[in-house]
Structure 1
């Protein structure tokens, strides 16, 4: 319930308001009285007051002084003034200084009560807004505390191929999580391979100790000068990502990070391997890759994983991946290769499929199968290729939100198992890639059509108070799903987009017409002019009047 204070030096006028008006249908629990400004100030000190109804013209200190006192000491209190015709300039000054409204004397009780009713509604709205802002601030703090987890999930999605690699989407996500990179910058992956625990640990304690090992990597490998992240991907691999500096992408070595040369990075990895043995009683090796664009991180990590799988002799080591790959190439072998041809990087192929580069995937297929033929691939090698390729297709479909069976028949998937030659396997693999690519493209077209229809609906209904449910009904989608889809595709919430479009229309009407500003607001579905003016100023930095004066092109 609210508290109201009535201030008037005329006792009959005072009692007429406090007792002559029936306030029972408004949420006012306490009504206080004061016969001058000093008594009113004392009342305000004694307890919180929500609504003040005060005469302006009183002996001694007047109502304007009381208003200034309220603004300084109780800014959330709402004030309504009573004024005579003779001193109307008082009312003007009061409104300029934050008074809610005024009533001319002699006071019409019905008019005063209606203004008070609006004042009460405004107080309730303000309280709800304050409560919402407190809630929002609470979640902001929670967001900040959860940010390291969110950053880890972002990189997990990147490495799992679950995130679009478009520059626009990447830049949006990087900015959202405060990651000091852009889509055209690079990161250097380091695989932290925990080879053996010298102490016996159960699953829970092993997870705890892996966390400790990652924390140590952040302190030793990254240190204070390097910028990056240490995380565990969705498959359980522990890794560090060293973010490249902007200068490194401007002509210096691509392996250079802020304050960190590659030799120093390798030395820090060696220090880290030693510290893990000494403090955590575990054997760790570091596989240090090259700096690559974010879109190639998944493939770069796959290469490091292949090196790890192929390493049967070096332990507690720092493996410089580019150097090791060069050594293996000189020896005529490939990391992870056994007898017969090496398998391709299905991770890289999946990325080609994600980007819609079917032509490049076809070339890779042709080269791989030509190599299989020249290197004498056996039936076992073709089966190994089949399972790797089928798994790649399954993951590609999942990243697009599709079931593999939405695009391919079960029989089509199984046909690859019966391929007896590299040529037959190539034909099967290409056919399925084309069909899956087409299914993914159709899904994208459907999404684009939905978003286009939403844009059109909003443009056609700018004169209304448009809601999310109205828009969802027009495209026959669940409102929550549509909100997520719209934000995913545009980077804006539906509410922000509608406000943005309406303000743009308002700017055009302000500059191109002489329509009353209140009419423009109503024509855009804003029932409360004050809300429109506040939103306009928040968006443009100017009030509607200031904007018109500055930009209007007609006389």
Structure 2
């Protein structure tokens, strides 16, 4: 609802407008009257006035002076002037000061009402626009606050294949999320893999520490270079450095990563390694990430190291890493058949265009064999049962030509994924083996590296696999079974609490007591006493 003010030093002129015109069909809540400019100012100070009808010639001050004051105090008020003189100078000044319209006396009431109606419509439109702008500003601020998270999600979708790595789709994403790149830009990726937490962490603490690692990575690896730090769903951290015109080619990444590793060792109590990729077009980020994942997967001997593509050949493993297919492992493990078949066609088409030798066919063949054995081992599945007719051993036929290799690869991954879908297990044989090992060595101070060595897996990879299948980290599971054992001994035996600590793998009584209270909320002594009280007749 709106308010109307009529100003004129002639009382009958004011009453003729306020009472002589039927204002009921316009949205006015109040219609005020003023007989001087000072009285009009007082009314405007105490009330919100939306439309003002004013005479220009008044004894105390002109309506033009009043309009100047109104524009300063109430800029949204629309003013309509009335005058008994057809003086163009007045009209020119009124328009220059921003009045809505100008009428000569005697006033035609119908004409005046129509002008007021238009003024109200203009105010309504301006208020709607103002509300829209305020709403837009509010949501725009929320969007800006969420922008870092949105950029992370965008890159995750690109890396996971949810957004195709085409120039058109990437360019659209860069524009939407204000990423300072274009479809022809290049990036340098750095993969960070946490190998060991030196202190036992629960899920919440580990998540907090991983956040701290990402923030430190942005400060120490990116520094003054534009880029972002992305948490990967597999537990890795990926740093992307945006290469722009003027960015120095020599970024001393090896030194930056080495200093980052030292800082993380000291302040975050963890071991980790950095794997540095080459300068890569954004449209080929999948391939270089697959290469870095392959480097990490095959690093079974070194910790707290910096590796780049030049040092890749120094890595050891039961089978060599093949950059072309290293990013297929996760798709195969997750049973993403269509995506994997697309990668097979894409890779073999690229090999066809670039020319291929027999050595390349054999490399791809053995890479696929390695992938199948690796994932089957993780899932505790029998290769003999998966391929009862020795389909994996037909190297002579499979590598006779690129087309034959493509057909063989499609048959192998299709059959393997179908078999894995039919023989899904809640907990794989490998994880069951790990759990039994921890149960058997409960009294010893075993660490993640000991457990990983027992099942011949990389420690970082084992941690991700264990958490994925059980919902708990290795340290959380070990703490759980130790505490269950301790509670049982406290209840059922008369052993000293220090002996209970030793039996459950704690060399220091104080550490045992601290961990026991963290889990149960009370000390071991209080726990035993409480049980005895509850059991007393």
Q: Is this a same-fold pair by TM over 0.5?
A: yes
Measured after TM superposition, the shift of residue 122 of structure 1 is 1.8
The answer for unaligned runs of 5 or more in structure 1 is 249-255, 388-416, 432-555
- What do residues 347-381 of structure 1 show as CA deviations (whole Å, max 9, x unaligned)? 99979969x97983471799498744589869956
Measured after TM superposition, the shift of residue 315 of structure 1 is 0.6
Measured after TM superposition, the shift of residue 119 of structure 1 is 1.7
Q: Does 1:226 align with 2:212?
A: no
Q: Which residue does the alignment assign to 1:282?
A: 270
| 320, 327, 338: which one aligns with 1:334 | 320
Closer, same or farther: CA 56–369 of 1 in aligned 2, 3 Å: farther
TM-score by length of 2: 0.63
Aligned 8 A contact 2:5 2:31 in 1: yes
Closer, same or farther: CA 185–375 of 1 in aligned 2, 3 Å: closer
Measured after TM superposition, the shift of residue 189 of structure 1 is 0.8
Q: Which residue does the alignment assign to 1:185?
A: 185
Aligned 8 A contact 1:343 1:385 in 2: no
Closer, same or farther: CA 189–145 of 1 in aligned 2, 3 Å: same
| 271, 280, 303: which one aligns with 1:292 | 280
Is the partner of 1:32 in helix, strand or coil?
A: strand
Q: Which residue does the alignment assign to 2:433?
A: none
Closer, same or farther: CA 272–370 of 1 in aligned 2, 3 Å: closer
- Choose 1 or 2 for highest CA Rg: 2
Aligned 8 A contact 1:160 1:234 in 2: no
| 426, 441, 460: which one aligns with 2:406 | 426
Is the partner of 1:173 in helix, strand or coil?
A: helix
Measured after TM superposition, the shift of residue 168 of structure 1 is 4.8
Question: Superposition RMSD on alpha carbons, in Å?
Answer: 4.1
Is the partner of 1:86 in helix, strand or coil?
A: coil
Q: Which residue does the alignment assign to 2:214?
A: 214
Q: Which residue does the alignment assign to 1:113?
A: 113
- What do residues 507-541 of structure 1 show as CA deviations (whole Å, max 9, x unaligned)? xxxxxxxxxxxxxxxxxxxxxxxxxxxxxxxxxxx
Q: Which residue does the alignment assign to 1:324?
A: 311
Is the partner of 1:135 in helix, strand or coil?
A: helix
Aligned 8 A contact 2:286 2:327 in 1: no
Measured after TM superposition, the shift of residue 52 of structure 1 is 0.6
Task: State how far apart, in whole Å, the 1-side matches of 2:141 and 2:85 are.
Answer: 52
- What do residues 183-240 of structure 1 show as CA deviations (whole Å, max 9, x unaligned)? 32221111110111122222222222111111111122222x2322112134442111
Aligned 8 A contact 1:6 1:52 in 2: yes
Q: Which residue does the alignment assign to 1:246?
A: 245
Task: State how far apart, in whole Å, the 1-side matches of 2:367 and 2:149 are.
Answer: 45
Measured after TM superposition, the shift of residue 66 of structure 1 is 1.9
The aligned runs of 1:374-385 (5 Å cut-off) are none
Q: Which residue does the alignment assign to 1:269?
A: 257
Task: State how far apart, in whole Å, the 1-side matches of 2:365 and 2:163 are.
Answer: 38
Closer, same or farther: CA 306–380 of 1 in aligned 2, 3 Å: closer
- What do residues 463-495 of structure 1 show as CA deviations (whole Å, max 9, x unaligned)? xxxxxxxxxxxxxxxxxxxxxxxxxxxxxxxxx
Task: State how far apart, in whole Å, the 2-side matches of 1:310 and 1:136 are.
Answer: 50
Q: Which residue does the alignment assign to 1:29?
A: 29
Aligned 8 A contact 2:55 2:81 in 1: yes
| 303, 312, 319: which one aligns with 1:315 | 303
Closer, same or farther: CA 205–164 of 1 in aligned 2, 3 Å: same
The answer for unaligned runs of 5 or more in structure 2 is 332-337, 377-389, 412-537
Closer, same or farther: CA 367–383 of 1 in aligned 2, 3 Å: farther
Closer, same or farther: CA 98–164 of 1 in aligned 2, 3 Å: farther
Closer, same or farther: CA 141–376 of 1 in aligned 2, 3 Å: closer
- What do residues 140-199 of structure 1 show as CA deviations (whole Å, max 9, x unaligned)? 211221111112122212222333444454344324323233332221111110111122
- What do residues 443-462 of structure 1 show as CA deviations (whole Å, max 9, x unaligned)? xxxxxxxxxxxxxxxxxxxx
Measured after TM superposition, the shift of residue 336 of structure 1 is 6.5
